[in-house]
Amino acid sequence: MEILDDFLGTLGNTPLVALRRYHPDGALLAAKIEFFNPGSSVKDRIGIAMIEAAERDGTLKPGMTIVEPTSGNTGLGLAIAAILRGYRLICTASEKISKEKVAMLEAHGAEVVICPVDVPADDPRSYTKVAERIRDQQGAFLPYQYFNQANPEAHYRSTGPEIWRQTDGRLTHWVAGIGTGGTISGVARYLKERNPGVRVVGVDPVGSVYAYFQEHGRLPSPDELRLYLIDGIGQSYVPESYWPEYIDEVVTVDDRTAYRAVFELARSEAIFTGSSGGAAVHAAREVARRLPAEALVITLLPDSGERYLSKLNDEWLRERGLLDG
C-alpha cells in the first residue's frame, strides 16, 4: 500500500518546471516549485532538519517549547515538525508578516507574537530579540535559522542533489533569493562541488545588505538601508547561515519589479508565487536573456502566492504605489 507514515513523508522531490512562456527565447529557464512541500514552502526542508539536529545533540528534549523569529514559512515548517514530534511552538514575527501566514500558524497551534518592523535587529522590540527573551525566560529551544548550520546543510543534502539529478547535471546557472542565505548557499555548495563552473547569482531586495556586502566585503551604513515590501528575502546584517564563498554575484530587484513579476508569471505560466519568488524569477530571466541557447538557468519559487492574498491585490498594491494608474 502507498501509505506514508506521516505528512513529512511528502517532503522534497519537488518538480522542476520550464518557464518557456515567461521566457520564450534563448537559454532555458526552469523553476523549482517548492510549494509542493507539505507546508507549501521551501522552509519545510529546514524545519525538520533543525529539530532533528537539536534532538541528536541533546539541545532539544521531550516536552520543551520551541521559539523562532520568522517571516512565516520557517514557522510553519517548524509547526508541522513540532506537531509530529510533540513540541509547543512560539513564533515571533514582524508586522510585515501576511495575515494568511499568521492564520496558518495559529491553525497549527503555534502562538504568534507580532513585533514592530521599523526597528533595528538589535532593538529589544525586534522579533529576533523578543524570541531570545522568550528563550531565556521559558527555557525554550531557539533553532535560530539565521545562525543554524542545519539550515544550509539541509539544502546541501536535499535541494542541491535534487536539482543536479533533475537537470542531469547540465545546469549552468543557479539564481535564488537570499533571506537567511540557507537555500542559495547549501544548493550552491553542492552544485559547485560537482561542477565548479556553475555560476551562482543571489537575488536581494533594494535596501537590503547582501548586494553591497558582496561587492564591498562589508556592511553598508545604516542610512543606506531602507525598508522594502518584498517578503521573505533581504536582511539588515549577514547571518551565519549565508555562505558567501559559494556566491558569484548578487543582483538587486525593487519592490515594483518583484510584484509585477508575480502577476506576469501567474498569467503566462499559471504559477502563482509570492513576492520573493517574483524577485527571483525576474532576476533569473534577466540572467537567461544574456546567455546562449545551450545554457540552463535554474531558479526557485519558495512558496505560493495564496499566503499573500491580502497583499497581492490591486487595493494593497495601489496604496503602496506599486500599481500604475
pLDDT digits (tens, 9 = 90+) for 286-316: 999 999 999 999 999 999 999 999 999 999 9
Q: Beta strands 88-94 and 65-69: pairing type?
A: parallel
Q: What pLDDT does 274 receive?
A: 97
Q: Is 3 left (phi over 0), alpha (psi -120 to 50) or beta?
A: beta
**d(Cα 214, Cα 59) in Å, to the nearest integer?**
33
Higher pLDDT, 222 or 3: 3
Q: What pLDDT does 213 receive?
A: 95
Please tell me whether residue 216 adopts helix, strand or coil conformation: helix
Amino acid at 288: A
- Contacts (Cβ under 8 Å, ≥6 apart) of 164: 171, 190, 191, 194
Q: Beta strands 16-18 and 28-33: pairing type?
A: antiparallel
Q: How far is CA 101 from the centre of its chain?
A: 14
Q: Which of 113-118's residues contact partners 24+ apart within 8 Å by CB, and which partners?
A: 117/227, 118/227
Q: What pLDDT does 325 receive?
A: 54
Query: Is 129 annotated in the active site?
Result: no
Residue bearing cell 522590540 = 125
| Lowest-confidence segment of 130-139, 214-223, 286-295 by average pLDDT | 214-223
Q: Which cell goes with 157?
A: 543534502
Among 223, 224, 184, 228, CA closest to 206: 228
Q: What pLDDT does 118 receive?
A: 80
The mean per-residue pLDDT over the stretch 20-39 comes to 97
pLDDT digits (tens, 9 = 90+) for 55-91: 999 999 999 999 999 989 999 999 999 999 999 999 9
Among 113, 63, 60, CA closest to 87: 63
pLDDT digits (tens, 9 = 90+) for 239-276: 999 999 999 999 999 999 999 999 999 999 999 999 99
Give me the chain's average pLDDT, please: 96
**d(Cα 243, Cα 95) in Å, to the nearest integer?**
28
- Contacts (Cβ under 8 Å, ≥6 apart) of 313: none
Largest CA distance in the chain: 60
Running DSSP on this structure, what letter comes out for residue 221?
Answer: P
Euclidean distance between the first and the last CA atom of the chain, given in angstroms as a whole number: 56
Question: Could you tell me the pTM of the whole model?
Answer: 0.96
Residue bearing cell 518538480 = 15
Which H or E run includes 97?
none
Amino acid at 120: P
Q: Contact at 8 Å (CB) between 172 and 95?
A: no
- Give 270-320 as a DSSP string: ---B-HHHHHHHHHHHHHHHTS-TT-EEEEEE-BBGGGGTTTSSHHHHHHT
Cα dist. 204→20, 67, 108, 317, 320 in Å?
A: 24, 27, 30, 20, 20
* 212 has a pLDDT exceeding 60: yes
Q: Which domains does the chain have, with CATH numbers?
A: 7-36+152-319 (3.40.50.1100), 44-138 (3.40.50.1100)
The fraction of the chain above a pLDDT of 70, given in percent, is 100
Running DSSP on this structure, what letter comes out for residue 178?
Answer: -
- Contacts (Cβ under 8 Å, ≥6 apart) of 223: none
**Choice among 32, 43, 96, 192 that is catalytic:** 43
Q: What pLDDT does 117 receive?
A: 85
**d(Cα 104, Cα 179) in Å, to the nearest integer?**
21
